[in-house]
């Protein structure tokens, strides 16, 4: 049996949960060399965080990596990492830099790992992406490990296939639901508050934008001059 390296928090450690997770994740690199050569299954970890503005990539990576290590504990060791930051799940693997780098190594017999582990399905796949990637992994003899199936994905097991299909639909529905919710909320705000996307307000003669003046021209007078009324 392989013993996966695990980090422990020292007694009295006052660091925040995010700091501890980040420090623990970084400490894995220093422990990998001692795990190599023991006949353990070697894994490549793949993770992803969509937006740097709303999620902390360091904490998110640490959490996903922790879940991956827990899943592979006693069965192998993570020897390579691929983590995409700022990439949407809707993008195909070929359009995510780190996912594409992982795929590029599949055909390399000296890549150093024989399995891929992810911490959460939604971090790797969206819609029908699993159905597109699974044959490629199987072709190169690469195992895929996921928490949702409790370990290794069986390419030919019907229950695993159904689980992947359901997760793909759920991942796609989550994105669709979020988009509808945002659009509905913005439409309601515009309708109720009388504001445009740029924050203007409606008047009797048109829209007035914040910090700007609007010129309303009147028909030319007998003198041929144009009168204007400036409003805020």
Average pLDDT, rounded, for the chain:
75
Task: Say yes or no to pLDDT of 71 above 60.
Answer: yes
pLDDT given for residue 43 in this prediction: 97
Task: Say yes or no to pLDDT of 151 above 80.
Answer: yes
**Owner of token pair 């949960």:** 17
Q: What's the whole-number mean pLDDT along residues 133-140?
A: 94
Q: How do residues 40-68 score in pLDDT, each as one tens digit?
A: 899 999 999 987 556 688 888 999 999 99
* Enclosing H/E stretch for 62: helix 57-72
**Owner of token pair 């307000």:** 201
Task: Say yes or no to pLDDT of 8 above 50.
Answer: no
Euclidean distance between CA atoms 163 and 170, whole angstroms: 10
* Maximum CA extent, the chain: 99
**Packed helices 57-72 and 17-35: angle between N→C axes, nearest 10 degrees:** 50
Q: How confident is the model at residue 11 (pLDDT cuts 50, 70, 90)?
A: very low
Euclidean distance between CA atoms 2 and 38, whole angstroms: 8
> Looking at the whole model, is its pTM more than 0.85?
no
Comparing 57 with 100, which gets the higher pLDDT? Answer: 100
Three-class DSSP category at 175:
helix
Token pair for residue 94?
A: 């070929």
Single out the residue of 61, 56, 50, 51 nearest to residue 21, CA to CA.
61
Q: What's the whole-number mean pLDDT along residues 183-207?
A: 59
Q: How confident is the model at residue 1 (pLDDT cuts 50, 70, 90)?
A: low
> 158-172, 176-190, 198-212: which has the minimum mean pLDDT?
198-212
Percent of the chain with pLDDT over 70: 55
């Amino acid at each position: 049996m392989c013993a996966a390296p695990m980090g422990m928090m020292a007694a009295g450690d006052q660091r925040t949960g995010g700091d501890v997770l980040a420090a623990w994740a970084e400490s894995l690199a220093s422990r990998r060399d001692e795990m190599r050569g023991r006949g353990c299954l070697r894994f490549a970890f793949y993770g992803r965080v969509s937006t740097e503005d709303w999620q902390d990539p360091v904490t998110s990576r640490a959490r996903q990596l922790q879940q991956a290590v827990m899943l592979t504990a006693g069965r192998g060791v993570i020897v390579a990492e691929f983590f995409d930051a700022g990439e949407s799940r809707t993008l195909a693997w070929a359009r995510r830099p780190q996912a594409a780098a992982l795929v590029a190594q599949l055909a390399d017999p000296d890549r150093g790992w024989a399995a891929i582990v992810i911490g959460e399905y939604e971090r790797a796949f969206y819609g029908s992406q699993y159905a597109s990637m699974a044959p490629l992994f199987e072709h190169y003899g690469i195992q895929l490990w996921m928490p949702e199936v409790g370990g290794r994905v069986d390419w030919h097991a019907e229950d695993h296939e159904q689980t992947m299909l359901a997760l793909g639909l759920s991942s796609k529905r989550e994105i669709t639901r979020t988009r509808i919710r945002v659009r509905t909320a913005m439409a309601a705000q515009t309708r109720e508050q009388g504001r445009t996307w740029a924050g203007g307000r409606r008047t009797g003669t048109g829209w007035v934008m914040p910090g700007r003046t609007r010129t309303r021209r009147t028909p030319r007078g007998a003198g041929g001059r144009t009168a204007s009324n400036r409003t805020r």
